[in-house]
Chains A and B, each alone.
Chain A
Amino acid sequence: MPTIIYEQPDGIRRRVDAPEGIDLMLAAKRNGVRGIEADCGGACACATCHVYVGDGFPLPEPEPEEQAMLAEVAAERLPQSRLACQITITSALDGLVLRIPARQF
């Protein structure tokens, strides 16, 4: 199972062994990772699963809808900004670090 690392704004890290096929939001929610709210349950409707993705991993480009949502996230939007619900976990993401912003709404 790939390991995903969720990093809180204070630097504290949490390693989650996540099954392939589910998305980065769901893996966080199921394991109670703080700061990933996902109010809509993963429908790309709320932009409260905002994360900053680490470099060096083959991530699919955001769809136009996700791009437009990222303009409205609560915390600062950076080039690394993504919505965790829109990225499916594969073995290629083993070791990916996701930084969690200080606020989601």
Chain B
Amino acid sequence: MRDGMLILGASHAGVLLAATLRENGWEEPITIVGEEPSPPYQRPPLSKGLIAGEVEPEDLALRSFGFFRDAEISLELGSAAVAVDPAGREVTLSDGRRLRYGCLALATGATARPAPFEGADLDGVAVLRTLSDALMLRERIAAAGEVVIVGAGYIGLELSAGLAALGGRHVTVVDCGRRILARAASATLATFVAERHRHAGTRLILGARIARLNGAGGRVTDVELADGSRIAADLVVLAIGVRRNDHLARVAGLACDDGVLVNRAGRTSDPRIVALGDCAVRHSRFADGALVRLECVQNAQDGARAAAAGLTGKPVGMEPTPWFWSDQLGLRLQTAGLTSGVDRTVQRGSREQGRFSLWHFAGPRLRAVETVNAPAEHLVARKLLQAGCPISPAEAADTRIDLGARFLRREMALSAP
């Protein structure tokens, strides 16, 4: 058999890479190795609709079995890669099998970060990363009365929003940061979202370090904070972020930083190996060329399209505007661009009406836009960022200006031959 494309990782990045390679005319064999036994599934609903019972696992398929069969993409599910040998162009699986490759793609994602405190191994302590995590958590939630979520990032808050909607439980979110969403949202947006969570009945304890999780008879009973106070809990969910899975690449000697170093086309320091998705890090024009590692679906998808283009000799294209979204408590939150280096923010629309956007500037340049319940405005913002439009803070804040009509039409007129 010919040595084709071997893809490690069967989630958004790996599956879209395989599909796009076939669309681009790649004729060599394609094999996807996935650690989880479940067929490839969509991850975003795990912390949203799945917990709320609005969607079921069978609704989450990324592609049907028929698709993989027809596209001749082999799935090796339930097997983990344990070693990569770039010189021998070979990957070793956990069951001892060795797979040869012509090209290798690392789409190994990230894993829930281990808790930096004692007690995380108690019964009643859960994480939310995989489908099986989510299904187990859903069962636990049905029987839980006192839920403590550790971590006020997007995953923790989507989960607490789902629990608030279910009702009937005390829900507490604890975070060591002084505000929620410290890593992923502006302070202004965080304040607005925190207010909504409190209004929904969720208790937010911020600026609090966790000393340990206490238990009795092997089951968790409470969360003890560094100041000695205790929060009763029969279910504790750890939503404290992830660790990138770049271990295989490091051991194999590929250049790594905060993840596997890649160029725009996903190429690593080995010309036969690409990396994409959560495990890859690259220079971004949306962060003044700084190294950026993103953990979102858009990044996985862009990485897949760029790598597929590079591998099949098609134009890779400019780096698209990074974006992500979250749904919680009836709020559609979307961020376009990256918020690093921001020194000025203006608001557009009305916070009271629950539909507004925050336009963040670094010096004179638009850097990022956060929208609340304004998906069309989000799309406009993405295009403005993509084109590097010279929009001023005053213009961004002026709701009398139709931004799409004024700036995008002008851009199109300028770029016309």
Q: Chain A interface (Cβ within 8 Å of chain B)? A: 22, 26, 29-32, 34, 37, 39-41, 43-47, 65, 68-69, 71-72, 105
Cβ distance A56 to chain B, nearest Cβ, rounded Å:
28
Residue in B297, B376, B383 whose CB lies within 8 Å of A41: B297
B380 and A30 form a contact (CB under 8 A): no
B67 and A40 form a contact (CB under 8 A): no
B332 and A31 form a contact (CB under 8 A): no
| Residues of B in contact with A, size category | 20 to 34
Cβ distance A29 to chain B, nearest Cβ, rounded Å:
7
B66: chain A residues at CB < 8 Å are: 31
A40: chain B residues at CB < 8 Å are: 44, 297, 325
A68 and B375 form a contact (CB under 8 A): yes
A39 and B301 form a contact (CB under 8 A): yes
Q: Chain B interface (Cβ within 8 Å of chain A)? A: 19, 23, 42, 44-45, 59, 61-64, 66-67, 70-71, 297-298, 301, 320, 325, 327, 332, 334, 375-376, 378-380, 383, 404
A69 and B301 form a contact (CB under 8 A): no
Known A65-B376, A69-B376; contact A39-B327, beta-carbon cutoff 8 A = no
Cβ distance B14 to chain A, nearest Cβ, rounded Å:
15
Known A30-B64, A31-B64, A45-B332; contact A71-B45, beta-carbon cutoff 8 A = no
Minimum CB distance partner of A26 in chain B: B59
Cβ distance B407 to chain A, nearest Cβ, rounded Å:
12
A43: chain B residues at CB < 8 Å are: 44, 325, 327, 332
Known A39-B297, A45-B334; contact A34-B63, beta-carbon cutoff 8 A = no
Residue in B44, B61, B404 whose CB lies within 8 Å of A30: B61
B42 and A41 form a contact (CB under 8 A): yes
Minimum CB distance partner of B301 in chain A: A39
B297 and A68 form a contact (CB under 8 A): no
Known A43-B325, A43-B327; contact A32-B45, beta-carbon cutoff 8 A = no
A71 and B61 form a contact (CB under 8 A): no
Minimum CB distance partner of A64 in chain B: B376
A39: chain B residues at CB < 8 Å are: 297-298, 301
A41: chain B residues at CB < 8 Å are: 42, 44-45, 297
B375 and A44 form a contact (CB under 8 A): yes
A32 and B383 form a contact (CB under 8 A): no
A72 and B61 form a contact (CB under 8 A): no
Minimum CB distance partner of B65 in chain A: A30
A31 and B67 form a contact (CB under 8 A): yes
Cβ distance A54 to chain B, nearest Cβ, rounded Å:
24
B404: chain A residues at CB < 8 Å are: 71-72
Known A41-B45, A43-B327; contact A32-B375, beta-carbon cutoff 8 A = no
A72 and B380 form a contact (CB under 8 A): yes
Cβ distance B118 to chain A, nearest Cβ, rounded Å:
37
A72 and B298 form a contact (CB under 8 A): no
10 additional contacts, CB 8 Å, given A31-B64, A34-B23? Answer: A22-B59, A32-B71, A39-B297, A40-B325, A41-B297, A43-B332, A45-B375, A68-B376, A69-B376, A105-B320
B298: chain A residues at CB < 8 Å are: 39
How distant is the Cα of A72 from the Cα of B409 in the complex, in angstroms?
Answer: 11
A69: chain B residues at CB < 8 Å are: 375-376, 379
Minimum CB distance partner of A30 in chain B: B64
Known A32-B19, A39-B297; contact A45-B376, beta-carbon cutoff 8 A = no
A105: chain B residues at CB < 8 Å are: 320
B383 and A72 form a contact (CB under 8 A): yes
A44: chain B residues at CB < 8 Å are: 375
